[in-house]
Amino acid sequence: MRTPLIAGNWKMNMTVQEAGAFADELLKNNLKEGVEAAICAPFIDLPVLAGKFKETDIKVGAQNVHFEKSGAFTGEISAPMLRELGMHYVITGHSERRELFGETDSDVNKKSRAVLEAGMTPIICVGETEEERESGEYTAKVAGQVTAALEGISPESAGGLVIAYEPIWAIGTGKSATSDDADAMCRSIRSEVEKLYDKNTADRVRILYGGSVKPATIEELMSKSDVDGALVGGASLKAEDYTALIAGAAQ
């Protein structure tokens, strides 16, 4: 039985003050049980969120990491630094990082392994462009990203991973994949994991959908058997909407 996960990805939004206010508001709400809640925030917000959520089940995560533990990498943050702050998750391979910052499949693999080595869980993002969807190449593209990201990761670690399927054409566009499309792609990713490892590992790995998920669409999405949750951008920025996402996922 896989615990559903609703992971917010704040991207480059929310000042420290706004993050604190979000946390205070969220803590006043009664989050439905049975769904894991996580917020992946800008680096500067992480200490305040870790502090506010310390005595709760709400997890905190980062949106990026460097794959080396330390060294001359100006402006970068390492996995051991994030672990010491109490982080549970780190998003790796988000399409914005791949497209805007030139991250390669190999970088995503190295970052994911560094996150695991530090005792955290990577949320590994994969997904196709609109052109790849239209050309019919999308299943192969995503399978290739999954294979590259998981290279060298042990079966024991692989079962605990989170993979987020985020079709690039659905991110921040209001143009969500249908729940059936999301389910089909999550199933295809699970079968890829089974090919790389075994059925037990594939049954354990959690696969999220991301791309214009809203409180109004979460319930239908979560009714699908291979969708284990969502990676949510815009709709995770307001405590009220985030609370509604958790409630919808708990149905």
User: Which amino acids are annotated catalytic?
Assistant: 94, 166
Beta bridge partners of 209: 165, 230
Nearest-CA neighbor of 40 among 77, 11, 18?
A: 11
104 contacts 73 by C-beta, under 8 angstroms: no
Please select the residue that binds ligand G3H; options are 212, 224, 242, 244, rule is CB under 6 A.
Answer: 212
215 makes contact with ligand G3H (CB under 6 A): no
Q: Determine whether the annotation assigns residue 233 to a binding site.
A: yes
145 makes contact with ligand G3H (CB under 6 A): no
Give me the least distance between CB of 210 and ligand G3H, in Å please: 4
Please select the residue that binds ligand G3H; options are 171, 177, 222, 247, rule is CB under 6 A.
Answer: 171
* 132 alpha carbon, distance to own chain's centre: 22
Nearest residue to ligand G3H, by Cβ distance, number only: 233
45 makes contact with ligand G3H (CB under 6 A): no
32 contacts 251 by C-beta, under 8 angstroms: no
Q: Determine whether the annotation assigns residue 29 to a binding site.
A: no
Q: Determine whether the annotation assigns residue 172 to a binding site.
A: yes
179 makes contact with ligand G3H (CB under 6 A): no
Please select the residue that binds ligand G3H; options are 103, 166, 192, 228, rule is CB under 6 A.
Answer: 166
Distance CA(59)–CA(52), nearest Å, equals 11
108 makes contact with ligand G3H (CB under 6 A): no
Q: Determine whether the annotation assigns residue 169 to a binding site.
A: no
Give me the least distance between CB of 161 and ligand G3H, in Å please: 16
Distance CA(154)–CA(39), nearest Å, equals 26
Nearest-CA neighbor of 127 among 62, 196, 208, 220?
A: 208
Question: 70 is written with which tokens?
Answer: 């330390």
Of the chain, the end-to-end C-alpha distance in Å amounts to 16
Instruction: State the residues that interact with ligand G3H by CB under 6 A.
Output: 9, 94, 166, 171-172, 210-213, 231-235
